[in-house]
Amino acid sequence: MKTKLFSLVLMLTVIVGYAQQDAQYTQYMYNTINVNPAYAGSRGALSLFALHRAQWVGLDGAPVTNSFSVNTPFNNSNLGLGVSIVNDEIGPSTSNSLSADISYTIPMSETLKLSFGVKGTANLFNIDVTKLNPGDQTDPQFQNFKNEFNPNIGAGLYLHSDKGYVGLSVPNFLEMNAYNDNEVAIYKEKMNFYLIGGYVFDLSPSVRFKPAFMTKAVEGSPLQVDVSANFLLIDKLVLGLAYRWSASVSAMAGFQISDAFYVGYSYDFETTELDKYNSGSHEIFLRYEIFKKNNKMITPRFF
C-alpha cells in the first residue's frame, strides 16, 4: 500500500511537473544519436542500435524506455543520415517519437572533424486515464484526453576524432504543451540542453581507459550531471562505473561479441529516498554494425 501510494504521487509529479523530460539513459556514450543529430554517420559504418531500460523496478508506474536507431554515412560524401524511434512510458502516459537526422562533417585536421546536425521529430503523447483509477469515471475532466501530436526540430555540434569527442545539442527547440485547459497544461516539455564529452587513453596495448560525461540542463529542473569511467580490456570486454549527481551509482559491462556485434548492460543503484521503494534500474543494449570492406575498423573505437 505504501509503495502504491508513493507511486501515485510520483506519477503526478513526473507528468504535471518537469522532472524527467527526454528519456534518461545510463549508457549515453553509446546512444549519442538520440540527443545529438550531428553524431549521424560519425562511426563510418551502418550502425543499428536497440536499447531497453527499466527504471526503478518494483515501483508501480516507473519509467520504461525502448529505443531503436540506425545511422550511416551517405555514400562517400560528408553527409550522415539517421533515424530513431523512442517509446517512453511513465505511469499512465506514453510518448512515442520518430526522429530523422542529417549531419554534415568538415575535416578540421588529419585527425579532427567537426559535424553539424539537424533533427526533425514527430511525437505522439497519450494518457491512459484507466490507469489513474479516478473515483468518478464519469468526471468530464477524464473524458477529453486524446492523443496529442507534436512536431519538433533540433540541432547539434559534434567535434570528434578517433580518441575523443565533445558535443553540444538541443534535440527539441519547440515547447510541447499537452492537454491545455484554460492556458494550463497537464504536461509540458521544455528545451533540453546537452553537453557531452569523452576521451580514450591507451594505458597499455591491452587496456584502454575512457572517462566521459553528459550534462543536461532543463528550465525548471535541477542540472543533471552524469560522469563515467570505462576500461576496455583486450578490445573485447568493457567494465566501468557511472555516477549521476545526487541520484544514482551505476555498474556497467559490455562485450564485443564479434566485429559487428556489441552488447552492453548497466545496473543503477539509487542514492536518494527512492531506494526504499524500488530495486534499481536495468539497461541493456545491442549494437550491430556493417563496415565497408576498405573502411573496417581494426579495433573498436570505444564510443
13 has pLDDT over 60: no
**Which residue, among 121, 98, 125, has the nearest Cα to 15 in the 3D structure?**
125
Does residue 297 sit within a domain? no
> Which pLDDT score, from 0 to 100, does residue 170 have?
96
Using a 10 angstrom Cβ sphere, with 0-12 exposed, 13-18 middle and 19 or more buried, the burial of residue 251 is: middle
Q: What pLDDT, in 10s, does the model give residues 222-260?
A: 899 999 999 999 999 999 999 999 899 999 999 999 989
Does residue 147 sit within a domain? yes
Mean per-residue pLDDT for 168-186? 72
Mean per-residue pLDDT for 61-71? 95
Does residue 120 sit within a domain? yes
Range of 287's domain? 2-291
In whole angstroms, give the CA distance from residue 66 to residue 62.
13
CATH number at residue 29: 2.40.160.40
> Which pLDDT score, from 0 to 100, does residue 249 have?
97
Asked if 252 contacts 6 with a C-beta cutoff of 8 angstroms, the reply is no
In whole angstroms, give the CA distance from residue 32 to residue 134.
39
Mean per-residue pLDDT for 177-188? 56
Does residue 303 sit within a domain? no
Residue 21 CB contacts under 8 Å (≥ 6 apart), including other chains: 189, 190, 192, 218, 221
In whole angstroms, give the CA distance from residue 159 to residue 168.
9
- The total domain count for the chain is 1
Asked if 20 contacts 247 with a C-beta cutoff of 8 angstroms, the reply is no
> Which pLDDT score, from 0 to 100, does residue 219 have?
79
Q: What pLDDT, in 10s, does the model give residues 126-143?
A: 887 777 666 555 556 655
* 224-232 contact pairs (CB < 8 A, 24+): 226/26, 226/28, 228/29, 228/252, 230/29, 230/254, 230/302, 231/207, 232/207, 232/208, 232/300, 232/302
Produce one character per residue of 205-244: b if its CB has 16 or more CB atoms within 10 Å, e if not: eeebbbebbbbbbbeeeeebbbebebebeeeeebebebbb
Does residue 259 sit within a domain? yes
Higher pLDDT, 60 or 189: 60
Does residue 302 sit within a domain? no
**Which residue, among 61, 52, 51, 68, has the nearest Cα to 89 in the 3D structure?**
61
Could you give the count of Cα atoms lying within 13 Å of 202 in the half-sphere of its Cβ?
9
Does residue 268 sit within a domain? yes
Total-model pTM: 0.85
Mean per-residue pLDDT for 61-89? 95
Does residue 300 sit within a domain? no
- Three-state DSSP state, 94: strand
Could you give the count of Cα atoms lying within 13 Å of 163 in the half-sphere of its Cβ?
6
88 has pLDDT over 70: yes
In whole angstroms, give the CA distance from residue 27 to residue 40.
17
Mean per-residue pLDDT for 70-82? 94
